[in-house]
Amino acid sequence: MTKIQIKHDETKAIHSGWRADASTNSVAVPIYQTTSYQFNDTTHAENLFALKELGNIYTRIMNPTCDVLEKRISAFEGGVAALAVSSGQAATALAIQNIAKNGDNIVCSTDVYGGTWNLFANTFKDQGIEVRFVDPSNPENFKSASDKKTRAYFGETLPNPKLNIFPIEEIASIGKKMGIPLIIDNTAAPYICKPFSHGASIVIHSTTKFIGGQGSAIGGVIIDGGNFQWENFKTQQPALNDPDPSYHGVIWSDAAKPLGPIAYVLKARTTLLRDLGYAMSPFNAFQFIQGLETLSLRIERQSKNAEKIACFLKNNNKISKVIYPSLNKQNNSSEKYFTKNLYGNLIGIHLKDGFQACKRFIDNLQLFYHVANIGDVRSLAIHPSSTTHSQLSNEDQERAGVFKDYIRLSIGIEHENDIILDIENALESI
């Protein structure tokens, strides 16, 4: 029988990385709730620790349930390998710390989530990693801010909350010529955008959001595209090309070659995950596996709902501006980067009467949940300036596209008319 090649994301999300349990024939992926694993013999143990073969050592580093999730998401995104971690914030931090250290810098888009901004501007600063924020509307800003100590570029596919599509291809192209990989947070656009196909080298997700979809588990994932030639940029990328004293002087770009183009994610797993312990729990991995299976259906419904609601909102006399990719097209970026005529579920609205109107609007919503999350099956609303981005200065808030009159909506899978009715009633209250 000819083995079929799975080509479509909807199928990969259900079948990649697992068929059935070898001992029980279970179709569902078991929750391997264990800390440790029996070695076959001393040689087997030695080989695992020496990276002569891959396998389970300790759940802080690798777990069979997490492994299925990693393989499935990697296949779904078009990568070569993935690393599941404890949160989206952990994924962001490890993605940078894997290649940048004290004295290094990265260049980051100003259009990023408030938690990311705070991590980069403050915590990383304390660790000696400089983050240079630039406006992504001109890709050349990334080049101008780069030097011999620049280890990565960072951006969000669909920035939260600004919602201006990041120019992945243009900035990735600039970086690759200089030996600088582009790391993309694709949390807000899974399935509908494929950053690797546009030149990104690393993709991260907060699996808490769309991949989980239920608001019941926290997690994150780092996916290695396998498309960056680390060994060609020894000076620009020392973390993967200099001997690593924490692993007997191994050079990761060389050590990974027998295993495939996975140097970046191999280093992240065997050093940072080992040392910092940001492991995803097997139970949460199980939940994300379930969520991934229906991701394509949910985001299609959410995107179609969101576009109808955005069109409805743009004619409301209490709203000064509606932000949604299909309404605010940027040099055809919507069509270039988003597939299947789907543009995500996030909508931004500016209310004419300012902050107090925003408070009254949110307080009068009945269907929407007022929570700090996106990508849930439920519709959600929040005022970023006073919540998710409140730690930023007023100047930095504005650079990130956050204003006192701005509300972010995350549209769920409810019936569109019920969502619109709730919004209408809340708008009437202001």
In order along its 430 residues, the chain shows pLDDT tens digits of 677 788 898 999 999 999 998 889 999 999 999 999 999 999 999 998 888 888 999 999 999 999 999 999 999 999 999 999 999 999 999 999 999 999 999 999 999 998 999 999 999 999 999 999 999 999 999 999 999 999 999 999 999 777 889 999 999 999 999 999 999 999 999 999 999 999 999 999 999 999 999 999 999 999 999 999 999 999 999 999 999 999 989 999 999 998 899 999 999 999 999 999 999 999 999 999 999 999 999 999 999 999 999 999 999 999 999 999 988 765 567 788 998 889 999 999 999 999 999 999 999 999 999 999 999 999 999 999 998 888 888 888 877 778 899 999 999 999 999 999 999 999 998 8
- 43 burial type by CB count under 10 A (0-12 exposed, 13-18 middle, 19+ buried): exposed
Rounded to 10 degrees, what is the CA torsion of 9, 13, 18, 19?
Answer: -80
Tell how many helices (H) and how many strands (E) occur in the chain: 18, 12
How many residues appear in the chain?
430
Cis check for the bond before 161: say yes or no (omega within 30 of 0).
yes
Strands (E), 305-372: 319-323, 346-351, 369-370
pLDDT of residue 397: 81
Single pTM value for the model = 0.95
Instruction: For residue 348, give the nearest of 306, 300, 396 by alpha carbon.
Output: 306
pLDDT of residue 342: 94
pLDDT of residue 335: 80
pLDDT of residue 114: 87
pLDDT of residue 21: 87
- 415 burial type by CB count under 10 A (0-12 exposed, 13-18 middle, 19+ buried): exposed
DSSP codes of every residue in 215-249: S----EEEEE-S---GGG-TTT-HHHHS-BGGGTT
**Distance from C-alpha of 239 to C-alpha of 297, rounded to nearest angstrom:** 40
124 close to 92: Cβ distance less than 8 angstroms: no
For domain 295-428, give the CATH number.
3.90.1150.10
Rounded to 10 degrees, what is the CA torsion of 280, 109, 105, 181?
Answer: 70
The residues near 429 (Cβ < 8 Å, ≥ 6 apart) are 360, 361, 364
pLDDT of residue 248: 87
**Distance from C-alpha of 197 to C-alpha of 169, rounded to nearest angstrom:** 9
203 close to 195: Cβ distance less than 8 angstroms: yes
**Per-residue tokens: 374:** 């996106």
Q: Where are the domains of the chain?
A: 34-291, 295-428
**Distance from C-alpha of 154 to C-alpha of 124, rounded to nearest angstrom:** 14
pLDDT of residue 331: 53
Does the domain at residues 34-291 carry the CATH identifier 3.40.50.460? no
Strands (E), 103-216: 105-109, 130-134, 150-156, 182-185, 202-206
**Distance from C-alpha of 235 to C-alpha of 146, rounded to nearest angstrom:** 14
